[in-house]
Structures are given as C-alpha cells and as structure tokens.
Amino acid sequence: MALEITDQSFQEVVLNSDKPVLVDFWAVWCGPCRMLGPIVEEIATDFEGKAVVGKVDVDNNQQVSVDYGIRNIPTVLIFKNGQVVDKIVGVASKEVISEKLSAHL
C-alpha cells in the first residue's frame, strides 16, 4: 500500500529515507492519475522492504508540489539520498516505472 505523503511528512518520509523513494503526485479529479493509481499500488507491493512508495495529493499539499515544480499530473519523482534522480510525467506502464525504480536500488 502506497503511503500518503503530506507537506508535513515529506521531509521525514522522502528526504530522510535510507531507501529510494517513488512519489506519485496526483489529484482526485485527474483521470490519468486514476489510471496510474493501481499501478503505483502494485509497485508499492512489489518493492516492499526495498523502496518507499508514496503519493502526494497536489490539491492538499501544495507546498511540496511548488517546491518540486509539479505543473502536470500525474508526475512520478524518484528520490535517492534526498535528491531527485528520475522523473516520469504522464501515465507510464508498470514495467517502465519498475525499471526506473530498480535502477536506484
């Protein structure tokens, strides 16, 4: 199950993580985000214990969205050691996202 990440928890959950972190920036009203949601949940299960997988609702957590220049959703950022190491804008397949996350394990 993907974690719900907020402006308040972002530092602790994402930037201070000792594992790679995949963050899905999404919104309830976004059709493509709803398509990507089940894929992100599957990846969360597949990478349990190896990586952190979370979601940021851009409507409720605008600060972190502004900080990372999120203009289009869905956007997936992969962090390692507190730095963005990869980015996917739009809907991508589970295989593509898994490959990108695996590259940073």
Q: Which of 7, 21, 3, 6 is nearest to 79 (CA)?
A: 21
- 17-56: string of b/e by CB count within 10 Å (b at 16+)? beebbbbbbbeeebeebeebbebbeebbeebeeebbbbbb
Q: Let me know if 33 is a catalytic residue.
A: yes
Selecting among 23, 33, 44, 70, the annotated active-site residue is 33
- Can you tell me which residue has the tokens 């979370």? 54
Selecting among 30, 85, 89, 92, the annotated active-site residue is 30
Q: Let me know if 34 is a catalytic residue.
A: no
Give whole-number Cα distances, 11 to 33, 36, 81, 95, in Å. 23, 24, 12, 28
Residues designated as active site: 30, 33
